[in-house]
Chain A
Amino acid sequence: MTNHWVDLKNSDCIVIMGGNAAENHPMSFKWITKAMEERGAKLICVDPRFTRSAAKADIYAPLRSGTDIPFIMGMINYVIENKKYHEEYIKCYTNATLLVNPEFKMPGDLNGLFSGYDSTARKYDRATWAYQTEDLPDEKAPGGIIHSPKRDMSMSDPNCVWQILKKHAARYTPEMVEKICGTPKDKFLEICEEFSKTGAPEKAGTICYAMGWTQHTVGTENIRAFAMLQLLLGNIGRPGGGVNALRGEPNVQGSTDHALLFHIIPAYLAVPKAGDTFRGYADKYTVDKATKDVLPGSISWWRNGEKYLVSLLKEWFGDAATADNGYRFDWMGKIGGGFQGGGYSHIALFEAMYAGEIKGMLCLGQNPAVGGPNSNIETAAMENLEWLVDLNLWETETNSFWKRPGCDPEAVQTEVWRLPAADSCEKDGSISNSGRWIQWRWKGCEPLGDCKTDLEITDLIMKEVKRLYAEEGGKGAEIINNIYWDYSGPNGDPDVVEVAKACNGYTWPDRNKLVKNFTKLEKDGTTACGNWLFSGTFTEDGENLMQRRIPEAEGIGNNLEWTFAWPVNRRIVYNRASCDLEGKPWNPDIPEIWWDPNKVDAQTGKPGMWTGNDVPDFAATKAPSAVGGDLPAIMLNEGVFKLYAPCSEGPLPEHYEPVESPVENIMSGQQINPATVLWHEVNPDTKIGTADEYPIIGSTYRVTEHWQTGIMTRNQPWLVDLMPEMFVEISKELAGEKNIEPGETVEVFNARGSLQAVAIVTGRVKPYNINGKTVHFAGLPWCYGYAGFCTGGACPTLNYSANQLTPHVGDANTMIPEYKAFLVDIRKVK
């Protein structure tokens, strides 16, 4: 979230799209309800089916799963055509004014492709997407020169982003939206009209999305499209505004912050690639971020990246990391192309496992046999493992994959260890919520029996690995032997507080003095820090700010003394944009921050500071009138937000159909995302079906009553009461065609598998009219399996997991699987 949960109450219009906040993030409705009741906020819900969120909405519109881009680009077109945008905001705070290479061509010109496409590699050469730049002097930049994008403040140059965007968006007419999305034109226009009211400077609208947007082959572009809409309406950096990912697991924000992903290392530094040197890697921050595409005066905060890298390496390798040896950057793991050049995402790892290239798996905090896509393939892949170590509270489908229906346990040679883990209530530590609030939690009770916390287990494994390397040596022994690993507390056991302090950072080599925050981290090896964004979670005196629980007495909901939020306790990021050019809040009724010309800076004694109800996301004393004093996007080189931003499949969102779609793409001749990795071309067992065989759109989702793969909740009888069995939600019309009665067991099947489910025949699902063709929808919860107290149905061998049906194909940037749009068919079970 750019904002946070409580801040939803400040919104004038809330869109729930690509998510189902009422069901999957019930607490969000505490604040959404407040906004509706107290501010008269409107709630809009756009979803393939009528959900519990839709039930609370002022306006609901259906859309076909996988067509969010045409819907949002249509909204953008409406905002531009009807001049509903916040003109001053986009002119000054976005890259609308920046000029792009005149050679750049768009899908409207090239039948669905941008310029620079290589169809063999399925990749773009981005040269024609670049800005037109000019070299300008800048004394702060390495070399004294910045390569600055050219700017046309009149926004009339045909190559400026504004003109490019206008031209691109004009193709997404309301009629086109109706034909592609199946959303009635009048509903679409009603939503456009309502949400675009937030383009008024004093109004703010927000978007609550989740996996309904990310889990598509165009997931990144779905989100970016709405981010662009928010920029056009001036809604970023504002109380009640922002782009808000409601995260589906209480600590998934923490897992991202600590880089449980393959493309980043802790706190969003890029993962090093094979061949990278310390200097080359560090210069991507120190030099590139300070000189490339930088507008004059842009803060471009990532130029500090080298400090964070060096401090991280000091934390990892301690005294062994010195300036002379590049802080042992050479000891870091680095990535190559991944299996078949497809990276190291979940899908790629399981494809590699399926091909026999992965020998062992340490699995914790997840249950891929239920949660992974194309689970018949993924569980088959596990049979190729020599060993599997699984940390969990329960017998899960993953740690009992050899017991799955249709599998002969005797034929499986994998050695499986189950390590009993502690529940989150049985351990101390922090969790980071969607709003980046890092909250400390205290142990409620001791773990049962031999159960141990993840920290204890990790510590035991690491100490044993170190002992073995010390005694027996082996490949990379020098690295293992030199890893700094001392997080013991007073009693000698691993102490989560020590880990947390390491994340905060401290001075090196004395290790005694905690740093105040990341502005005190250095690139000369005198500080160590495990995660620069978590720096500031402790005071220099050792007070754990994550333990604070002081509700605000007055304010706008930011609750600055309730725990700690990264970065530096800031609750709404990019909040410079909440003010106009002079530093006055766009909405004086909910002032986030403002420029106070009289407030005196204690350090310099000079007047003039940013102040307010939040930690300013800007240089504290940089006046609005200073050079760059109006560039709010401090994490971007440009200093302005990007309406136009190169991604794998282009610099602007363009509609492509899901890899499995019932219809042809009527926007262009390019049917699917041109940059997506097609695993079925690598592995024929990873099947993709056609609309002739499987004409119905399938989609998966969660229900309030079960959590993720259901491991925690399917073992909880009260929750099983509420959602006892696998079901499929279908329309009355489809039920009629297939002669299916409500409550009847049906078979849902496609190219990859088949499962049984109870039919929920409901008016909440309606067939879509897609350009004259009737298209049906089948909605499937993905929380059931074959292990535990509740497996999801009367017959555990037939109805276990919706993910038996989902395809092995993912987003072109993040590689998240396309769980939300695929093809199935349905028949009665006789």
Chain B
Amino acid sequence: MAKAILYDASKCTACRACYVACKQWNVLAAAEVKELGTYYNALTLDGTTWNLIDFIEKDDPDRFRWHFISHRCMHCGDPSCANVCAAGAITKDSETGFVLIDNDKCLGCKNCHYACPFWEGVPRFRDEISEAEEEWMDHGNKVPGKRVASTMYKCRGCVDRVKNGLEPACVTTCPPDALQFGDKGEMLSIANARVALLKERGETKAQVYDPKGVGGTGVIYVLLDDPEVYGLPADPKVSTADMVTKWLTGLITAGILTIVPFWMVFKAAEAEGKGGE
């Protein structure tokens, strides 16, 4: 049965233990950031940052709000990234539903990045493997997944933990239980019950975010306001219609690809009957 991570923005205190737990479990180097005058700083999702918390100040008429939201891979039911992957490196894990990148197959073309409708494109390119990771692996230690230079990276749902009976690292560490993990049906019913409770207590805009346009998501949000307030698309679609433009942009950026993957993409898209949505 498909699994899901439930992130409840109404419970999150933005302590960011999820960020550190992810870095630790997945052996990911620190980012290089500068204080830019917000708590968010210059953090963005990147090859070594697979989740982060954004801070959003909003002056509602009745009260001042400080919203928190977890940026991370949504593990779509129908993942655009997998659909457009030139190398067939992105698959949905049949057991958990997590969307995984096989870094041995990945060509680093960034198609997936441009196709992703969330968080300005979740999969991010890494051109090198850090010394810290090399050193870690040189000592015979393992890292979750594989580390290959010039390929794409993102959240793997801690699939290795999950298959060994553990929760994803971020979920395990979350102090206020704003992150929960389980079968998707169960997570949805928890989310729906929570939203009903929030509405009853006056949070009129409380809602579950599990957008149908991408086949539902493996990361479900409980939100206190409209998705756009949090930087989420209200109605994301599987990325195909504008894919060519995006893909070409990616192609120029990457600057290394040939016609072959281009052909492969369209062949794959046609085969799956998703050419014209």
Give the CA-CA distance A56 to B31 in the complex, in Å: 28
Contacts of A37 in B (CB 8 A): 194, 197
Contact B13 A22 (CB under 8 A): yes
Closest chain A CB from B214 CB (angstroms):
29
Contacts of A743 in B (CB 8 A): 35-38
Contact A744 B14 (CB under 8 A): no
Say yes or no: is B30 at the interface (Cβ < 8 Å to chain A): yes
Contact of A718 among B13, B23, B41, B175 (CB under 8 A): B23
Contact of A52 among B14, B34, B63, B194 (CB under 8 A): B14
Say yes or no: is B256 at the interface (Cβ < 8 Å to chain A): no
Residue of A nearest to B173 (CB): A26
Give the CA-CA distance A721 to B177 in the complex, in Å: 23
Give the CA-CA distance A719 to B41 in the complex, in Å: 12
Say yes or no: is A356 at the interface (Cβ < 8 Å to chain B): no
Contact B176 A30 (CB under 8 A): yes
Say yes or no: is B212 at the interface (Cβ < 8 Å to chain A): no
Contact B13 A759 (CB under 8 A): no
Give the CA-CA distance A30 to B23 in the complex, in Å: 23
Closest chain B CB from A667 CB (angstroms):
29
Contact B36 A721 (CB under 8 A): no
Give the CA-CA distance A824 to B25 in the complex, in Å: 43
Contact A721 B15 (CB under 8 A): no
Stretch binding the partner chain, chosen from A118-126, A298-306, A511-519, A760-768: A760-768
Say yes or no: is B129 at the interface (Cβ < 8 Å to chain A): no
Contacts of A26 in B (CB 8 A): 13, 15, 17, 175-176
**Could you mark each residue 724-765 of chain A with 1 if its beta carbon is under 8 Å from any beta carbon of chain B, else 0?**
111100000000000000111000000000000011111110
Residue of A nearest to B16 (CB): A722
Among A694-734, those with CB < 8 Å from B are 704-705, 717-727
Say yes or no: is B118 at the interface (Cβ < 8 Å to chain A): no
Give the CA-CA distance A723 to B40 in the complex, in Å: 9
**Could you mark each residue 167-194 of chain B with 1 if its beta carbon is under 8 Å from any beta carbon of chain A, else 0?**
0000000011110000000000000001
Contact A721 B30 (CB under 8 A): yes
**Which residue of B13, B57, B197 has the most chain A CB atoms within 10 A of its CB atom?**
B13
Say yes or no: is B114 at the interface (Cβ < 8 Å to chain A): no
Give the CA-CA distance A413 to B112 in the complex, in Å: 62
Say yes or no: is A55 at the interface (Cβ < 8 Å to chain B): yes
Contact B177 A30 (CB under 8 A): yes
Residue of A nearest to B202 (CB): A58
Contact of B65 among A23, A30, A55 (CB under 8 A): A55
Give the CA-CA distance A27 to B174 in the complex, in Å: 9
**Could you mark each residue 76-92 of chain B with 1 if its beta carbon is under 8 Å from any beta carbon of chain A, else 0?**
00000000000000000
Closest chain A CB from B143 CB (angstroms):
16
Contacts of A760 in B (CB 8 A): 37-39
Among B16-64, those with CB < 8 Å from A are 16-17, 19-20, 23-24, 29-31, 33-39, 41, 43, 57, 59, 63-64
Contacts of A60 in B (CB 8 A): 63-64
Using A60-B64, A718-B23 as known contacts, say yes or no to A724 and B41 having CB atoms under 8 A apart. Answer: yes
Give the CA-CA distance A54 to B35 in the complex, in Å: 23
Say yes or no: is A278 at the interface (Cβ < 8 Å to chain B): no
Say yes or no: is A33 at the interface (Cβ < 8 Å to chain B): yes
Residue of B nearest to A62 (CB): B64
Give the CA-CA distance A56 to B63 in the complex, in Å: 12
Contacts of B19 in A (CB 8 A): 718, 721-722
Give the CA-CA distance A719 to B57 in the complex, in Å: 23
Residue of A nearest to B31 (CB): A721
**Could you mark each residue 32-70 of chain A with 1 if its beta carbon is under 8 Å from any beta carbon of chain B, else 0?**
110001001000000000101111100010000000000
Using A22-B13, A26-B17 as known contacts, say yes or no to A758 and B175 having CB atoms under 8 A apart. Answer: no
Contact A33 B11 (CB under 8 A): yes
Closest chain B CB from A426 CB (angstroms):
18
Say yes or no: is B68 at the interface (Cβ < 8 Å to chain A): yes
Say yes or no: is A440 at the interface (Cβ < 8 Å to chain B): no
Contacts of B66 in A (CB 8 A): 50, 52, 54-55, 764
Contact B177 A718 (CB under 8 A): no
Using A52-B66, A719-B20, A764-B64 as known contacts, say yes or no to A758 and B176 having CB atoms under 8 A apart. Answer: no
Give the CA-CA distance A52 to B16 in the complex, in Å: 12
Using A50-B66, A718-B19, A763-B64 as known contacts, say yes or no to A29 and B176 having CB atoms under 8 A apart. Answer: yes
Contacts of A32 in B (CB 8 A): 176
Contact A725 B35 (CB under 8 A): yes
Residue of B nearest to A25 (CB): B175
Interface size bucket, B side?
35 or more
Contact A718 B197 (CB under 8 A): no
Closest chain A CB from B170 CB (angstroms):
13
**Could you mark each residue 563-591 of chain A with 1 if its beta carbon is under 8 Å from any beta carbon of chain B, else 0?**
00000000000000000000000000000
Give the CA-CA distance A758 to B264 in the complex, in Å: 49
**Which residue of A40, A55, A723 has the most chain B CB atoms within 10 A of its CB atom?**
A55
**Could you mark each residue 1-19 of chain B with 1 if its beta carbon is under 8 Å from any beta carbon of chain A, else 0?**
0000000000101111101
Contacts of A55 in B (CB 8 A): 13-14, 65-68
Using A721-B30, A724-B35, A763-B59 as known contacts, say yes or no to A33 and B41 having CB atoms under 8 A apart. Answer: no
Contact B13 A763 (CB under 8 A): no
Contact A704 B16 (CB under 8 A): yes
Among A16-32, those with CB < 8 Å from B are 22-23, 26-27, 29-30, 32
Give the CA-CA distance A721 to B33 in the complex, in Å: 6
Closest chain B CB from A623 CB (angstroms):
43
Contact B177 A33 (CB under 8 A): yes
Contacts of A718 in B (CB 8 A): 19-20, 23-24, 30
Closest chain B CB from A725 CB (angstroms):
3
**Which residue of B17, B29, B30, B176 has the most chain A CB atoms within 10 A of its CB atom?**
B176
Contact A724 B34 (CB under 8 A): yes
Residue of A nearest to B66 (CB): A55
Contact of B30 among A40, A54, A717, A742 (CB under 8 A): A717
Contacts of A761 in B (CB 8 A): 37
Give the CA-CA distance A50 to B67 in the complex, in Å: 12
Contacts of A763 in B (CB 8 A): 57, 59, 64
Contact A52 B13 (CB under 8 A): yes
Contact B43 A721 (CB under 8 A): yes
Contact of B175 among A27, A727, A742 (CB under 8 A): A27
Using A29-B176, A718-B23, A762-B57 as known contacts, say yes or no to A23 and B15 having CB atoms under 8 A apart. Answer: yes
Closest chain A CB from B24 CB (angstroms):
7
Contact A727 B64 (CB under 8 A): no
Contacts of B23 in A (CB 8 A): 718
Contacts of B177 in A (CB 8 A): 30, 33
Residue of B nearest to A757 (CB): B35
Give the CA-CA distance A377 to B129 in the complex, in Å: 46
Contact B11 A724 (CB under 8 A): no
**Which residue of A725, A742, A761 has the most chain B CB atoms within 10 A of its CB atom?**
A725
Contact B41 A722 (CB under 8 A): yes
Using A26-B13, A30-B176, A722-B16 as known contacts, say yes or no to A744 and B37 having CB atoms under 8 A apart. Answer: yes
Give the CA-CA distance A52 to B63 in the complex, in Å: 15
Contacts of A50 in B (CB 8 A): 64, 66
Contacts of B39 in A (CB 8 A): 723, 760
**Could you mark each residue 138-163 of chain A with 1 if its beta carbon is under 8 Å from any beta carbon of chain B, else 0?**
00000000000000000000000000
Using A30-B177, A52-B66, A764-B66 as known contacts, say yes or no to A704 and B35 having CB atoms under 8 A apart. Answer: no
Contacts of B41 in A (CB 8 A): 721-724
Contact A720 B30 (CB under 8 A): yes
Q: Which 8 A-B pairs have the closest CB atoms?
A: A743-B37, A717-B30, A725-B35, A742-B37, A55-B66, A29-B176, A22-B13, A26-B15
The interface of chain B, by Cβ under 8 A from chain A, is: 11, 13-17, 19-20, 23-24, 29-31, 33-39, 41, 43, 57, 59, 63-68, 175-178, 194, 197, 201
- Contacts A721-B19, A721-B31, A744-B37 given; 11 further ones with Cβ under 8 A? A26-B15, A29-B13, A55-B65, A56-B11, A56-B13, A704-B15, A717-B29, A743-B37, A760-B39, A763-B57, A764-B64
14 pairs across A/B with beta carbons < 8 Å?
A26-B15, A26-B175, A30-B175, A30-B177, A52-B13, A52-B15, A52-B68, A55-B66, A704-B14, A704-B15, A718-B19, A721-B19, A726-B35, A744-B37
